[in-house]
Amino acid sequence: MADENKRDTERVSVPSPLYGEVKVFQPMTILDVSHGGAQVETPFALQLASLHEFRISLGDRSVVVKGRIAHCHIGELKEGTVLYRTGVEFIEVSEHVQAAIEHFVAALKLSERAPEIVDGQIAEDPT
């Protein structure tokens, strides 16, 4: 009979429940973006002042940036689904990410037809 315990380390039972959180990326639509934040659309509401990590595709580049929810309200009803519009303030942005966002925003301003933001995802930040 094969050994059912295939772990490298032994697990210990917890006498009372411990709680944690899991970070899960969810799709979103980015409606506009600036050097300091973005307006996004999601099929779920985001809590005011909560912190999240956003993975944003900026054309051919992808960045992850931490953001604080500045406002959230119902934007529209589309095909029976409520869509929420949320203002996100970027915080603690690394120089690398800030440069990528600034380059993308500058390119949008210069182009007649703005390149599409392919996709974006949001994740709960456990901090």
> What would the two tokens of residue 1 be?
């009979």
Distances (CA, A) of 55 to 1, 51, 62, 90: 46, 13, 7, 12
Hey, what amino acid is at 22? V
Q: Residue 96 carries which DSSP code? A: H
Distance CA 81, CA 91 (A): 30
The pLDDT value recorded for residue 13 is: 87
**Tokens representing residue 45 in the block:** 């509401």
Which residue in 46, 43, 42, 41 sits closest to 67, CA to CA?
A: 46
Bigger pLDDT: 105 or 120? 105
| 41-91 per-position pLDDT tens digit | 999 999 999 999 999 999 888 999 999 999 999 998 888 899 999 999 999
* Residue 20, phi then psi, degrees to nearest 5: -150, -170
Residue 113, pLDDT > 70, answer no
Structure token digits, residue 13: 């039972």
Task: Check residue 55 and give its pLDDT.
Answer: 93
Stated pTM of the model: 0.71
pLDDT bracket for residue 1 (50, 70, 90) = very low
* Percent of the chain at pLDDT exceeding 70: 86
